[in-house]
Chain A
């Protein structure tokens, strides 16, 4: 018998702000919908361990999709006439479009890094339609990652973006896993990581929005790695302080990519957060 994993990948055409986008998504499991958002300049492969975790998939319908321009999702038509720049509004519209197209009923939305940021806004805007959010490496305000050299014709962007983000892993995480994330990062299109960081570091500021989150309606679990220097533990602590009732966990020996850099050590933290959603 072929050694198949239980993950199934499919393509979906979805209208985002009135424009059709061909999106790739993968899913596994049954139960409460768990919509997973990858990091900047990456794709849903980062969730392969979570999608293969039987404890999770016996309780959750896990769905991870590649954002437009990322992974196996296409950019929209006439992309060659557009400089890719993600915005808070565009990111939120994308998540909402996929959520509605799939008809997800009171999902949990989980995201990491830029995904960990936007879930705060998802919670603020849609808290009556959610079960909760799980924010990995979540900051309500995260300046400092943008720079012009991330997309430059004299630089190999794939190698730079992958190396630029490599140190965001904890040095103690398994090398093979850190390198795997390096490989994913090396594969993003020209300027895509920079376009994502444009949102994350320049456009994103939800410090006021998050004060409106009512954790009696929408549960909030925030988990951040101690080695994360893009979203530091202090930044997540600041976000949590604005959301009464949010759970906050600083993960020892973990960096910015817990679900891919060190799933074994991340798993107990993750399961604890997911139990809060059941």
Chain B
């Protein structure tokens, strides 16, 4: 597989991810109270994920400072690539695992708000893994 063109993870992946989240039966059950904007930062590439009742309403790529986010996850692209790989190595298979054991993976912002939404947020992050690698 050749190197991914353009910024990681790229618009095709983001659309696939959004479609999967918004079609997810489990989030349909548990997502009702998850309304927040959170940041996903892949290396230098920032994305604001606007969530309304467990569905992704919009992903703002490279948001300016007028897009407010409550919390976010930030890591180098190499870390995200392991997380999104089909068979992630131990310690890279779950965001809570990375928060404990991969120092380069960080939770930014209001961790209380993140943990208030832990169940739906965890599901949403696991759907990132189910979406697969950006170049798959």
Contacts and interface: CB of A to CB of B under 8 A. Distances in A.
Interface of A: 144-145, 149, 152, 154-156, 159-160, 162-164, 166-168, 170-171, 226-230, 232
Size range of the interface on B? 10 to 19
A155 B112 contact: yes
A167 B97 contact: yes
Interface of B: 88, 90-91, 93-97, 100-101, 111-112, 115-116, 118-119, 122, 129
A149 B115 CA distance: 7
A232 B115 CA distance: 24
A159 B119 contact: yes
A153 to B, nearest CB: 11
Nearest to A160: B118
A226 B116 contact: no
A94 B93 CA distance: 35
Q: Would you list the 10 A-B pairs with minimal beta carbon distance, nearest first?
A: A167-B94, A159-B119, A163-B122, A229-B97, A163-B118, A160-B118, A167-B96, A227-B90, A149-B115, A171-B93
14 contacts: A145-B100, A149-B112, A155-B112, A155-B118, A159-B118, A159-B119, A160-B119, A163-B96, A163-B122, A164-B118, A166-B96, A226-B90, A229-B91, A232-B90
Contact of B93 (A159, A227, A230, A232): A227
Contact of A149 (B111, B119, B122): B111
